[in-house]
Amino acid sequence: MPRVLSLLGTLALACRPAPTLDLSRFELVDLSHSYSSATLYWPTSPSAFELKPLHVGPTPAGFFYSAYTFATPEHGGTHLDAPVHFAESGAPVEQVPLTRLIAPAVVIDATVQAAADPDYRLTPADVEAFEQTHGRIAPGTIVLLRTGWSRRWGDRKAYFGDDTPGDATKLHFPGYGEDAARLLVEGRDAAALGVDSPSVDYGPSQDFPVHRIAAPRGVPNFENLANLDRLPATGATVFALPMKIEGGSGAPLRAVALTPRD
């Protein structure tokens, strides 16, 4: 009988309703820019976003129907850089673990520094100052760098620092510094690096050290993020889910954050 009672107790526990996520306890923040003909792409991109109608209007049966085809380079708008973007043996988009795309997030605010210097690069001292206030960044955390650059979205010259067609040698915008990236990727085991500017590497970079530090270690990047000013320094959970392009080096990204309501 005791064994039967134990079995019944186990079954009762197994049949309890699973806990549900009460979204009313959170604010949902959209971290992505929309894709359209106005979406900004890297200056050397051979094309941009295209949306073409296949059918828009009434059908012979009398009901409305719309369908489109779209085309876009991988690296434009709010997007993910997969590790294979800068590491030959790195994971393509569909192989990036979900634990790197859905995780607690911290937001390091460098808006003051970026306002004073459009070529500002996050430093280890900035990371350490953040940790002195908010505690050490835990392994598996998505690190987001807030520069304020998303306010410039839509104005190519203001956002990239230059608007010369086909030329990526005159760009000016903030990003991560090499030493800060190494600290976050190697010293803090960050799940991913994100930024609200065009790249995790700052504008004048021509050798992209942050990409080359992150990619071989399996760390993806989220670029051209929006609304980081609506996130707390700690406490948000980010869901950064790219289009699952098999073999892709990058993909359009719909990123959202859940922040606890007071």
- H/E element holding 25? none
Q: How confident is the model at residue 23 (pLDDT cuts 50, 70, 90)?
A: confident
Predicted confidence (pLDDT) at residue 52 exceeds the cutoff of 70: yes
Which listed residue (33, 79, 85, 211) is catalytic? 85
pLDDT digits (tens, 9 = 90+) for 126-180: 999 999 999 999 999 999 999 999 999 999 999 999 999 999 999 999 999 999 9
Share of the chain above pLDDT 90, in %: 89
Predicted confidence (pLDDT) at residue 120 exceeds the cutoff of 80: yes
Q: Identify the CATH number of the domain defined by range 18-33+77-260.
A: 3.50.30.50
Average pLDDT over residues 23-52: 96
Q: The whole model's pTM is what?
A: 0.92
Domain boundaries, the chain: 18-33+77-260
Residue 85 annotated as catalytic:
yes
Average pLDDT over residues 61-73: 98
Contact (CB, 8 A) for 229 and 146: yes
* Number of other CB atoms surrounding residue 214 within 10 Å: 30
Pairing label, strands 102-109, 121-122: unpaired
Contact (CB, 8 A) for 237 and 103: yes
Number of Cα atoms under 13 Å in the Cβ half of residue 235: 13
